[in-house]
Amino acid sequence: MTDAGTATASNLLVVDAGSSSLHLSVVDGEGRELAARHDSEAPGSGTRQVIEELLRRAPPVAATGHRIVHGGPRLLGPTLVDDTVRAELDRAAELAPLHVPPALTALDATRRLLPDAAHVVCFDTAFHAGLPQPARTYGLPQEWTDRYGLHRYGFHGLSYAWALDRAAALLDRPARDLHIVITHLGGGCSACAVREGRSVDTTMGFTPLEGMVMSRRSGSVDPGLLLWLQTSAGMEPEELTETLNRGSGLLGLSGTSGDTRDLVRSAADGDRRAALALDVFTLGVRRGVAACAASLDRLDALVFTGEIGCDQPEVREAVCAGLGVLGVTGGLRPVNVREDTVVSPAGATVPVLVVPTGEGQRVALETRTLLTRHAGQK
β-strands 352-354, 341-342 pairing:
antiparallel
- Run of H or E residues at 365: helix 359-376
**Which residues are registered as beta bridge partners of 15?**
24, 66
| CA nearest to 147, candidates 238, 73, 230 | 73
Q: What is the 3-state secondary structure (H, E, C) of 153-190?
A: CCCCHHHHHHHHHHHHHHHCCCHHHCEEEEEEECCCEE
Q: Is 31 left (phi over 0), alpha (psi -120 to 50) or beta?
A: left
Query: Please, is 98 exposed, middle or buried when counting C-beta atoms within 10 Å of its C-beta (0-12, 13-18, 19+)?
Result: buried
Report d(CA 63, CA 50) in Å as an integer. Answer: 17
Q: Is 311 among the catalytic positions?
A: no
8 Å CB contact between 352 and 342: yes
Selected catalytic residue, list 16, 124, 201, 300: 124
Residue 202, SS3 per DSSP: strand
Residue 163 identity: A
DSSP 201-258: EES--SSTTSSS--SS---S--HHHHHHHHHTS---HHHHHHHHHHSSHHHHHHSS-S
- What letter does residue 128 receive in the DSSP assignment? G
CA distances from 12 to 60, 105, 358 (A): 9, 19, 16
Strands 63-68 and 12-17: parallel
Q: Which amino acid is at 84?
A: T
Q: Cα separation of 250 and 76, whole Å?
A: 32
Mapping DSSP to helix (H, G, I), strand (E, B) and coil, where does residue 332 land? Answer: coil
Catalytic sites, residue numbers: 124
